[in-house]
Structure 1
Amino acid sequence: MMLRRVLLVLLLIGAVLLAFAWQRFRAFADTPLPGIGADATLVVARGDNLDKVLGKLQAQGIATGNRLAWQLLARQTRAAGRLQVGEYALASAATPRALLIAMRDGKVVRRKFTIVEGWSIRDLRAALRKVPLLAQKTAGMDDAALMAALGHPGQHPEGRFLPETYAWVRGDADLDVLERAYAAMDKALAAAWAARAPDLPLATPDEALTLASIVEKETGVADERPQIAGVFVRRLQAGMRLQTDPTVIYGMGSRYAGNLRRADLTTDTPYNTYTRAGLPPTPIAMPGKAALRAATRPAPGDALYFVAVGDGSGRHVFSASLADHNAAVKDYVQRYRAQRQAVREGAAPK
């Protein structure tokens, strides 16, 4: 009888101790880690085990507590031996359980890089060089070497990367981002070409890409893109020169200093559409999906000319005849001069 009472007492004590240990374990697992700084991250490298990860946390001033508790929690969450390589965000409320599950599932920090519509390949490469933590594999490459590294030797890089926002993770390189952007443009161009309007004066998807790049540079007003494309398509059909300033500027390269002079319009380059008929030899910028759609499905109409309104809206006046166009240009020049006069006099233009 006495023995049974002793055993019962021991069992009760054991149960209390187990309950206490379980509560302590749960409190450890679900209590935010102390010492996490603002914007802190944890980088798990190839070959890192749990002990190595805990050492990295401690090196950041984060108190990790009992290693045995971490090992037990890793087994409970099935994270033991399954920590995935990558960079993990350490939010101020991060708990051991949440962190282990994140490392088990590979929920790494995903950063973003945006290619802006109308960027040139020079703009794109300059922007990539400024991205912190993105490995730079293309820094010593010229454009030809870059395209060869992407698996497209001999292809001009201009216009080949779709303006969108791309996710990347620590360990990625600029070449990885460019590969995704190239594939995205390839897909978008194929879709636009497949849905093209009949009787376009464009022989290949590459010609559509070139026209789209011109449309992209001519207007930032979304609903004008099909109209701008329509003007250029009708000019091509009529055998007229495109006479578009952005191609001239592109052909000038570093010689362009912000002002386009009459002499620039008459100086021949492969990209001067005032001196040469047809499309330029390559795209002049990175066109977005809307510009691709506009180039392959231009708006119908009879306009052959356009000029900026000049009121700051970015919009244009479209004309079917040269006489109407000249009148619109005259209005633009008068408005431009009035605005400059107002600025000189310190008054707002009317």
Structure 2
Amino acid sequence: MQKRKRFMIGMVIFSVILTSFSFYFYQVFYGSNILIEKQPEVVVIDRDDNFDSLRNTLYDNAIVDEILSFSFVAKALGYQDNVKPGVYLLEPNMNNLEAVRRLRAGDQIPVDITFNNVRFKEDLVEKISATTGIDETEFLDLLNNNEYLSTLGFNKETIMAMFIPNTYEVYWTISPKALFDRMKKEYEKFWTSSRKEKATALGMTPVEVSTLAAIVQDEMYIPSESPTIAGLYINRIKANMLLQADPTVKFALGDFTIQRVLIADTRIDSPYNTYKYRGLPPGPINLPTIASLDAVLNYEKHDYIYMCAREDFSGYHRFAKDLTQHNKNARLLHKALNDRKIFR
């Protein structure tokens, strides 16, 4: 009888312990441990992060409530030695098992890269690396690597034409070369048969259209004038005239703060100086927008070959068909610049 009693007590104790452990392990794996209550939380795991740094980030940012249980599940699922970089979304009231499984699977969410208002390669690198894990030095090196760029049909002067300004969805872990491949596909998608036909009608390649569009974009303040400005430069090209585009001089000088291009500036010996060298420069002086590209392809047909900014600083231009009228327009602008003491 005594043995039976002790046995029953032992079974009760064992059942209590088993129940307690079962409940504990259930809570560890399935209990809500993610403190996010309303909106999903984005977690960025860098390439040099390990489990310790990730765990600290989750705890310090109040994303994980009980860090020991999270670590236990991570170890049980082999995640501690298998941390994958990327951008992840943790949702309200997730449990440890759900969170660790998502992170362990590398189930990333895409990120958006947007690049516009870009002039130099360094600007492009900065915008792209800001929202991805791309190494800036590696990406910039590729932008200047003629051997690699030739496989894409470009060189270090023309490569900027391949990047069509827009917003693109990629994964944070995308490699520089994978991004180049993606941009080449987007470039080919942009250059439809219709756009190519219009470029051919102009006697230009897509890269040359981009190069001219970049000049038009820098000359333009009022978007509605873009096709007119494009038509003016096309007229000069057809007449075998120097383009004499001030933005190309500023690019050659590396100074876009200049408000007044001087005669001395136009003497700089650079292939980008269209006051000195005939035809288009070696490549785009910025990343022309889709609107600027289409402005060239759909240029306005007219007889203008000269222009200068209006003296009222409205952003509009005065266009002229001959040098006599242009000189009159230019004198109005020069007087306005002098009155405002703008000499550079």
Secondary structure of 1:138 counterpart: helix
C-alpha contact 2:89 2:109 (8 A) present in aligned 1: no
User: Are the structure 2 counterparts of residues 30 and 318 from structure 1 closer, same or farther at C-alpha, using a change threshold of 3 Å?
Assistant: farther
1:257 positional shift: 7.7
Q: Which amino acid aligns with 2:189?
A: K
User: Are the structure 2 counterparts of residues 110 and 207 from structure 1 closer, same or farther at C-alpha, using a change threshold of 3 Å?
Assistant: same
The aligned counterpart of 2:189 is 187
Q: Which amino acid aligns with 2:334?
A: V
CA distance in 1, matches of 2:146, 2:331: 46
The aligned counterpart of 1:334 is 335
1:275 maps to 2:258: no
C-alpha contact 1:88 1:108 (8 A) present in aligned 2: yes
1:207 positional shift: 2.3
CA distance in 2, matches of 1:95, 1:155: 49
CA distance in 1, matches of 2:235, 2:257: 31
CA distance in 2, matches of 1:308, 1:198: 31
Aligned-pair identity (%): 23
1:340 positional shift: 3.7
The aligned counterpart of 2:5 is none
1:137 positional shift: 5.7
- Give unmatched runs, 5+ long, in structure 2: 1-18
The aligned counterpart of 1:93 is 92
User: Are the structure 2 counterparts of residues 287 and 186 from structure 1 closer, same or farther at C-alpha, using a change threshold of 3 Å?
Assistant: farther
The aligned counterpart of 1:241 is 242
1:121 maps to 2:104: no
Q: Which amino acid aligns with 2:112?
A: K
User: Are the structure 2 counterparts of residues 65 and 119 from structure 1 closer, same or farther at C-alpha, using a change threshold of 3 Å?
Assistant: same
The aligned counterpart of 2:10 is none
Secondary structure of 2:308 counterpart: strand
1:110 maps to 2:110: yes
Range with bigger deviation, 219-228 or 53-62: 53-62
Partner deviation per Cα, 1:182-226 (whole Å, 9 max, x = no partner): 4323432455633517852x2433322222222122214322211
CA distance in 2, matches of 1:241, 1:149: 29
The aligned counterpart of 2:148 is 148
Secondary structure of 1:262 counterpart: coil
C-alpha contact 1:319 1:325 (8 A) present in aligned 2: yes
The aligned counterpart of 1:196 is 198
1:171 maps to 2:173: yes
Partner deviation per Cα, 1:235-256 (whole Å, 9 max, x = no partner): 22233321111222333457x8
C-alpha contact 1:86 1:169 (8 A) present in aligned 2: no
1:60 positional shift: 3.7
1:131 positional shift: 6.4
TM-score (norm 1): 0.66
Q: Which amino acid aligns with 2:304?
A: A
Range with bigger deviation, 171-180 or 217-226: 171-180
C-alpha contact 1:117 1:216 (8 A) present in aligned 2: no
1:333 positional shift: 2.3
CA distance in 2, matches of 1:286, 1:192: 21
1:265 maps to 2:266: yes
CA distance in 2, matches of 1:44, 1:210: 37
Range with bigger deviation, 88-97 or 275-284: 88-97
Q: Which amino acid aligns with 1:114?
A: T
Q: Which amino acid aligns with 2:318?
A: V
User: Are the structure 2 counterparts of residues 335 and 102 from structure 1 closer, same or farther at C-alpha, using a change threshold of 3 Å?
Assistant: farther
Secondary structure of 2:164 counterpart: coil
Secondary structure of 1:166 counterpart: strand
Secondary structure of 1:242 counterpart: coil
The aligned counterpart of 1:217 is 218
C-alpha contact 2:87 2:172 (8 A) present in aligned 1: no
CA distance in 1, matches of 2:147, 2:228: 33
1:230 positional shift: 0.7
User: Are the structure 2 counterparts of residues 334 and 42 from structure 1 closer, same or farther at C-alpha, using a change threshold of 3 Å?
Assistant: closer
C-alpha contact 2:230 2:299 (8 A) present in aligned 1: yes
What RMSD in Å do the two structures reach over aligned CA positions?
A: 4.7
Q: Which amino acid aligns with 2:241?
A: M
CA distance in 2, matches of 1:105, 1:40: 16
Count of residue correspondences: 309
TM-score (norm 2): 0.67
User: Are the structure 2 counterparts of residues 220 and 183 from structure 1 closer, same or farther at C-alpha, using a change threshold of 3 Å?
Assistant: farther
User: Are the structure 2 counterparts of residues 123 and 155 from structure 1 closer, same or farther at C-alpha, using a change threshold of 3 Å?
Assistant: same
